[in-house]
Structures are given as C-alpha cells and as structure tokens.
Structure 1
C-alpha cells in the first residue's frame, strides 16, 4: 500500500462515511487511529488529514496489541480468506472488501470497547514499569 492508495481509497471512504453519518458536521472534530505504517505517516497523508480536519490519535510504535486491525480484524480476514489464491491484487481487494461488508456494525463497536480496555491496561502497565504482551 502506498500513501496515494491510502488517501484515494481509504481516506476517501472514511470521509464519505463521516459525511453520510453526520451530514451537518464536516470531518473536522474527527479522531482517527491508525498505526505508524509508512503510508499513514507520509507527508501526503498527513496533509490530506489536515485538510479534512481529521486529528490523528498517537499510536505507540511497535504496539500491535493496541491496534484493532491487528488484534481483531486481520485474524478474521485471515481465517475467512485462508486457502484462497488470488492472481491479481484487484481480486484480493474485492474479496477483502466483500468480507468487511459482512461484519456487523455492532462487532465493530464492540471491538472499540475492547480497545479502550486494552489502552487502559497498557497505561497501567507503563505507569508501574511493567512489560506487557498479548493483552
């Protein structure tokens, strides 16, 4: 994935979803959590986010236990797409998008409640000088 792809395909969908769900409120005052992957930190991405008024929540480096995509979404996709082979990247993207649409909204909401619990455990561990893994 590149910053261009991320901006054109992911952020554009985020913007559309926000505009659909909150038509009277722009994307300003929106908080976004994504990890520290190159496309997320690229100058073009940060510029696009700033233009949209989207604030990025800081994400600790090397913290996959705190990224909902890592502890929840990717395992689901891996399980559902296991054993399938894709000749073209477009076919993989279509399959992933199809699977994402089958996940109920309440599952997404539930994972963010779990994410808040993980963040609190992380903060507690850090404050006590403890190492944590596999929250």
Structure 2
C-alpha cells in the first residue's frame, strides 16, 4: 500500500500545444541566455479569486430573489477595465521608478485570457513601448503569479470581514514580500522553461522537488 495525493492538471495538452510550449520556451530562453533580454525588465500579472468568506461554484450559487429585488451581480472584467485599472497604473509606476528609461526594454508576461489579447490592449502596450512576451496557451506553470505569487498571498492571509479590509490585507502581504523571494521566483521561470523543453512540452510540476 502507498500514499498518493491528487495533482491539478490545467489542461489535457495536444501534441500541437506541447510543440508550441517547447518552441516558445526555446525562443524566450535564448533571448535571456544571449543577454538581449533581462529578467529584471519583466513585469507580470494575473487575476485570481481571493475570498474573505467561502465562495461556491456558480452552479451552486443559485438563489431565490423577491419580486422587487435585484439578482446578485457577477462582475466580469473586460479589456477596457484591464487597460484603465491595471495597465495604466502600472505604466505610471514604471515611469515613476525609471524616470530616464521609462518603459524602454520592459516586457510583459501574461496569459492569453481574452481581455489581455484584445486588439485595444495590444495597441495600448505597443504605443507605450512595452513588448508582449510570447506565451503558450494553457501554461500557468510558466507564469510567476500562477506558480508562486497567488498561492503565497493566500497562504499569508487571515479571514477578513469585508472587501475593503481584504484589499488592505492583500496589499500588506505584497509589500512585505522580500525582494529575494521575487528574484527566486523569476529565476525559477528560466528553470521552468528548461523543464518544459526537456519534458517535450508536457506539464512538469511532478518533476520539481
């Protein structure tokens, strides 16, 4: 008898998707190795659910409402929200921290969610001089937010009574993360690209000790 644990598999990858993962990892890794790209020039981000109470899946979230009551609103973030509330504040902060260089050399690493790849988003980033790093579909194992940051934040949070206190708590956790932790997470990005290539594009989490 042996003890086993379950492991979440993001997607059942096709051979074509595995080949794309190998191809893009090889291309990106080559740019870091020849010095044309630097890890310190990468910005990255993602969205995740952070709850102050238990949230069930949508299928179990049905409820009865009175005749004059409004149903619960499910908020969806579109590309306009992404530009105005995510990208523009980040660009402003980049110029604040890099007064002479600005966005020169900055690369954005993000997944392929629909709001992120909308033409308006791509045009905005291009106008700001930000390079979008090629990222293969169904690859959360190749984005620092997915393989490190989101889980780190949630592990260090305590229960919060409402949304405002939750937002403050998340900001507090983020500000306390040592720079060394960020460096380790981005160094692992290169290691993960190599693992992806060596594992022929398949998921490799089970190979990480």
Q: Larger Cα Rg: Structure 1 or Structure 2?
A: 2
Please give the per-residue CA displacement for 1:48-107, whole angstroms capped at 9, x wherever unaligned.
Answer: 11111101101111111111101100111121225x25544x544333223211112221
**Structure 1 position 57 matched with structure 2 position 133:** yes
Distance (whole Å) between structure 2 residues aligned to residue 93 and residue 3 of structure 1:
22
State the SS of the aligned residue for 1:32. strand
Gaps of 5+ in 2: 1-76
Please give the per-residue CA displacement for 1:2-41, whole angstroms capped at 9, x wherever unaligned.
Answer: 3233222322232133213321113132111011122211
Distance (whole Å) between structure 2 residues aligned to residue 57 and residue 81 of structure 1:
31
Runs of 4+ in 1 over 3 A off after TM superposition: 85-88, 90-94
**Two-structure CA RMSD over aligned residues (Å):** 2.1
What is the TM-score normalised by the length of structure 2? 0.55
Please give the per-residue CA displacement for 1:100-121, whole angstroms capped at 9, x wherever unaligned.
Answer: 1111222112210011110121
Structure ranking higher on relative contact order (CA contacts 8 Å, 6+ apart): 2
Deviates more, 1:101-110 or 1:7-16: 7-16
**Structure 1 position 39 matched with structure 2 position 39:** no
Asked if 1 retains the 8 angstrom alpha-carbon contact of 2:141 and 2:203, the reply is no
Could you say which residue in structure 1 is the equivalent of 2:83? 7
Aligned residue pairs total 130
Distance (whole Å) between structure 2 residues aligned to residue 93 and residue 6 of structure 1:
18
